[in-house]
Amino acid sequence: MNYKILKLDFTTAVHFGSGGLEKSGNVPGADTIFSALFIEALKHGKSDVLLKSFQEGRLKISNAFPYIKEEYYLPKPIIRLDNDADGDSVIKKALKKLRYIPLSRFKSFINGKSDIRKEADLFGENLGEFALMEKVSMYTANEDEFNNLYALEVFKYKKGSGLYFFIGYEKDSDFETVCKLMESISYTGIGGKISAGYGKFELSTDTPDKDIVKNFENIGDYKDIMSLSLCLPRDEELENSLIDASYTVVKRSGFIASSNYAKTFRKKKDIYMLEAGSVYKNTFKGDIYNVSMENVGTHPVYRYGIPFFMGVR
């Protein structure tokens, strides 16, 4: 399989749903990226081809992760370090706060040789900032005009910082399709609509270092493997996949973003998944799950749950 990096350099603030308008995330999951790709593919009549490529394993994506200048970051693995500073409460607090590890210093972190406080400060000071924006929606009823005030939390990346995600592909045509769809999405926005002043980004590509690619390809050489994507094993895979695993379960829900799905906003079915950074002993395939409501809507709605494995230790 071939691997590339797609970089999103945001020129506006973003709002990624994280439990209401007043709470925003700053990194979208692989399921959010897939949903954006699928909705865009629907517009161009390519949704079936795209879905098949992912389902057959010819195409896969990771969660989005931060980059700061030239440094790519990976999720902190849910794993006990060889030296995790037992007894040092300051470092323990910094370790708990730290969510992402620089790719160039990932091995040092696993070996317990990172300066945890320095890494936490460096990341916190250079990625960006959250802000709470006051908004007003106006509507008219029976010739009377009403104003509805609300607050919206957004995140603004600092200059030189943004998001990226890995893409694995077997055919160049699949990679080109994803690039074209992402380029199209850059004009409408991800993490908010450009028409509302959010989610605009410039797209570029990069090639991952050979050392990281080895971690993707030689999974059998590792006793601990981490998924770089939010994922969910199939029912028949669940028991085996969780043997001696260290994982975090997250609830995924939300409204359907497609304007063509129904005349009114509809919610997706809730689904519980395993967070990126969870560490496993055994591999699994996962799946793409239909989370649309029965007998409602003009097209299926999918939740991406395929792992993107990386050897850790």
Average pLDDT per 10 consecutive residues for the chain, totaling 313 residues: 96 75 72 92 90 96 95 92 61 81 91 85 87 62 57 86 97 96 91 70 95 92 95 96 95 73 71 96 95 72 94 91
Q: Residue 37 burial by CB count (10 A; 0-12/13-18/19+): exposed, middle or buried?
A: buried
Amino acid at 213: V
Whether 309 and 271 have beta carbons less than 8 Å apart is answered as: no
Pick from 188, 198, 195: which is nearest to 258 by CA?
A: 188
Residue 22: its pLDDT value, please?
46
Domain chopping of the chain, boundaries? 221-313
Q: Report the relative pairing of strands 161-169 and 287-290 from DSSP bridges.
A: unpaired
Cβ-based neighbour number of residue 77 at 10 Å = 23
Contacts of 153 (CB under 8 A, 6+ apart): 15, 21, 22, 23, 24, 130, 131, 132, 133
Token pair 């098949």 is found at 52
DSSP 93: H
Cβ-based neighbour number of residue 269 at 10 Å = 14
- Coil, strand or helix: which one is 98? coil
